Amino acid sequence: MNPIRITVFALSIIIAMPVLSYAKGKSAADSGGPIVERSVTLPGSLPASITVIAPGNRAGATAAINNAVNEAKAIATMFDPSNAGSEITQININAATAPYKISPEFGRLLELALNVNDWTHGAFDITGNGDSRKVKYSKKEGTVFFKKPDIKINMIGILSGYLADLMTQSLYNSGNTSNLMVTVNGVSRSIGQNTIGPWRVDVSEDNGKLAQRGLSLSFSGLSVAIVGAGHSMPLLDPRNQSPLTTNLKAVTLLGRDAATTQSIATAMYVLGINGAKNLAAELQGMRYVLLDENGNMIKSPGL
C-alpha cells in the first residue's frame, strides 16, 4: 500500500468526524424540512454559512448553530494574526527564542499543516517562504519552536477547512440533525442530504463568462475546497519565495475532512496543472476539477 495514502487517511480521521456515521444520515427529502440557515463573518474576515435540515426541531437546530458559531469564533480568534492578543501572534513573537507552549487545539492544526507540507513537497507552507521544515512541533511537550529567527506562521491556507470541520462536528454532536452543510470561505463540509437530494457545489468560470461549461458536484458526506476563482489563494510560491505564476485559475478538490482538503487544494493551485494532477495521483482517492487559464475544466478520472 502507498504509505502516503495511509498517512493522509489516518490523520483525516483523527481530526474528522465519523464519516460512515454521517453517510447513514436519513434522507432530508423524506423529512419535509424545515431548513435553518445562518450566515456570519468569523474573526479574520472569514465568511461562513450553515444550513441545517431539522424536521420538528427548529429551536434545537438554531441553538446548535449558535453554539457551533460561538465555538468557531473562539477558535478563529486564536489563529488571527491581526489580533495582538491571539495565540498565533504570541507564537510568532516568542517561538524563535525558546520552545513555546501552545494549546492542544493549536497543536492539532499545526501538526496537520506540517504533515501536509511534507505530503505536498513544500507546495503548502504556513511560513509563506519555504521555512515550514524549520518549525518544530513537539506533541509530547506541547511546544513549538522556530529554528530561524524571522519565521512567522499563518494558517489561512488550512483554517477555513478546520473551522468547517469543527462546526460540523459540533452540530452533529448536538443530536439535532444528521443533514447539514457548513461552508467557510469557499471550503465546505456536509453530512447526509438537503431537502431535494445530495448536497452539491457548482463549479464555473469565476466571472461567469463560461458558466455554460460549469458543472455541479455532489459531495454528501465529504468536503469540498475551492482555491482561486474569487476564493482565498496563495500569492507567493513558497518553494522559491517568488511571486506565484500558475496556469490555473482555480482548483476544486473533494476529500474527507475539510482542513486536509483545503490545504492540499492550496498546494495543487501552487503546483499548476501537471503538478496538481501528479500530486492527486500520488495521494490517491482525491477527486478534482482544475480550471485552467482559458476557463477549460480538467476533471479527475471518475468525475
Tens place of pLDDT for every residue, the chain, 303 residues? 333 332 333 334 333 443 333 333 444 443 445 899 999 999 999 999 999 998 888 899 999 999 999 999 999 999 999 999 999 999 999 999 999 999 999 999 999 999 999 999 999 999 988 999 999 999 999 999 999 999 999 999 999 999 999 999 999 999 888 899 999 999 999 999 988 888 988 876 655 454 445 677 888 889 999 998 777 777 778 888 777 888 898 999 999 999 999 999 999 999 999 999 999 999 987 899 999 988 889 999 877
pLDDT score recorded for residue 202:
80
E-strand stretches of 106-175? 135-138, 143-146
Distances (CA, A) of 111 to 120, 121, 198: 14, 16, 32
Give the span between the Cα atoms of 176 and 56, in whole angstroms. Answer: 10
Residue 271: its H or E element? helix 258-283
CATH architecture of the domain with range 3-73+163-299: Roll (3.10)
- Which of the listed CATH numbers 1.25.40.10, 1.10.3720.10, 3.30.300.30, 1.10.3980.10 matches domain 87-156? 1.10.3980.10
Give the span between the Cα atoms of 239 and 261, in whole angstroms. Answer: 20
Show me where the domains of the chain are located: 3-73+163-299, 87-156
Helix 156-173 and helix 58-78, axial crossing angle in degrees, nearest 10: 150
| Contact indicator for 38, 70 with CB cutoff of 8 Å | no
- Per the DSSP assignment, residues forming a β-bridge with 194 are 197
Residue 60: its H or E element? helix 58-78
CA 196 to chain centre: 25
pLDDT score recorded for residue 191:
93
pLDDT score recorded for residue 12:
41
pLDDT score recorded for residue 271:
94
Give me the sign of the Cα torsion angle 8, 10, 15, 19.
positive
